[in-house]
Amino acid sequence: MFYHLTASSAVDTARTLLARSLQAGWRVMVRGSDAAGLEALDQALWEGPEDAFLPHGIAGGPHDARQPVLLGLGQMDDNIQALMAVDGALVEPAEVAGLERVFILFDGQDQTAVIAARGQWKALTGAGIAAQYWSEESGHWEKKAG
């Protein structure tokens, strides 16, 4: 599921999608493209509303396997049911098999991010993976393709 962000922030969208994923009983890997971006997301999740706390941690800690939401730069472990790619992190077609959901969030105001997301769309759909494209250009989320 591709999310073309034009009004909502990546943090707000991630919060919503992560909460829904946890409600579904999924363990989620949030893959970023750089450590600083993941640290900023980690901090934003800690500072979120108290009644909407999302248990999470940054990969590399002693309790990675127990984290419901794990933020990292690399590969997923075998107990992950959903993958969220942020900040241009790549998702390989082979990774999608066996996952309940893959979320790719990209900033619609950043032309480089849009071009990268188009490349991801082509790679994934070209590999025969069903994909959905969601846009919020109208002011609310609408499914545009898939």
What is the rounded average pLDDT for all residues in the chain? 92
The pLDDT assigned to 56 comes to 92
Please report, for the domain that includes residue 66, its CATH number: 3.40.50.10110
Task: Specify the pTM.
Answer: 0.93
Q: Which domain holds residue 17?
A: 2-145
DSSP string, the chain: -EEEESSS-HHHHHHHHHHHHHHTT--EEEE-SSHHHHHHHHHHHHTS-GGG----EETTSTTGGG-SEEEESS---TT--EEEE-TT----HHHHTT-SEEEEEEETT-HHHHHHHHHHHHHHHHTT----EEE-TTSS-EEEE-
Q: Please report which confidence band the pLDDT of residue 137 belongs to, taking 50, 70 and 90 as the band edges.
A: confident
Give the number of domains in the chain: 1
